[in-house]
Amino acid sequence: MHILGQKKRTFPIVGSIFIIIVLLLSYFFYYTKTPAYSIYIIQKAVEQQDWETFAEHVDTDQVLSVAFDDILEESRSDAEAANMAKNLTAPFLQILKPGLVDSLQDCLHDYVETGNYEANFQDMDIRQRLNLEDMKRDTDLNFVRYKDVSYTKQGDNGSPVVGIVVTDSVLKKSFVLDLAMQKNLDGSWKVIKILNLKEYIQAIKRARQEKLQVLNTGIRQKIDAVVDRGKITANVVSDGVSGRRKSLQIHAILTLHGNKPVHSISGKAYARTADGQQLQFPFSIDLVTAAQSQQTIDIVSELNPFLPKERAFTVQGAEIYAWLIVHCIRYADGTELKDYEVLPDIV
């Protein structure tokens, strides 16, 4: 009777364990066919330098092609005057797209197989290298690392979207990239597109600008203590015999309060019309070498009548507001007091 009772108690326990094992196996086989598991496979493929497995789960042609277009569009839509060259060259970059995407493919292949893409990168012509350097900078590629999967959700077309968390070692921030997934014939999944790459680039730019402002706050205070910009005026002047060439002239009175002679200053000049059109351009001015003095400077920049933003400054009677930001003071002894123009790689 005792043995029989013990068997009766044992059977439910064994049955429960069996059910748990079946459930766990069922979940395992289910999980291995989920989009999130394919992200894990991609991660392991990179760690194990397995290009074949990586390529099975990432449609590299489509991912890189769409990413190229997104980066180019974001670059073109950037309103800062510093990016005007990018806006003007965007149509030419679109022509160069097939070759650049092929170069990106080669770099990605080398990175997965060897952990390094620099050898292939150095073999490119200078034009390709410069364009890809811009893309690396816009995406912070050198400093971003995969962390984990944040979620899986249904996309607008009904296909799954996996959100992966990436961390930026310089910015000390995390971002989520939404990856559109497509089912393979064997039931696994592959990445076909980064859905929010443009938003990610915008977030990177904002974060870098915020970090840069924090780094520069103390330096700017020291620069402003040395170079006091007094009254600043701006007007449009005519050049040449015909008077058709127009230039923007910014006039400023500077007072130096340093403890050693200043040789020159450089920075950016800004001008804005009453209706909100704004220009910025760099300047570099040699001063009468002195530690403490008052000096006047004139900064002149020719206006392009074919650019609507610059043409707005030539309208008769237009009110123009101007200001200067000094980024660098060069002293007579060769030393400099200079803020950061770009965020350093190590902060």
pLDDT of 222-261, one tens digit each? 999 999 998 899 999 987 666 678 999 999 999 999 889 9
- Token pair belonging to 35: 């989009």
d(CA 257, CA 11): 91
What residue ranges define each of the domains in the chain, with the CATH number in brackets? 32-195 (no CATH), 211-338 (2.70.50)
The 3-class SS string of 300-325 reads EEECCCCCHHHHHHHCCCCCEEEEEE
pLDDT of 64-88, one tens digit each? 999 988 888 887 665 443 444 445 4
Sites in the chain below the pLDDT cut of 70 = 1-32, 76-93, 118-132, 240-243, 346-347
Q: Which helix (H) or strand (E) holds 222?
A: helix 197-226
According to the model, what pLDDT value does residue 238 have?
Answer: 86
According to the model, what pLDDT value does residue 124 have?
Answer: 64
Output the CA–CA distances (angstroms, integers) from residue 200 to 66, 191, 195, in the order listed.
Answer: 14, 17, 10
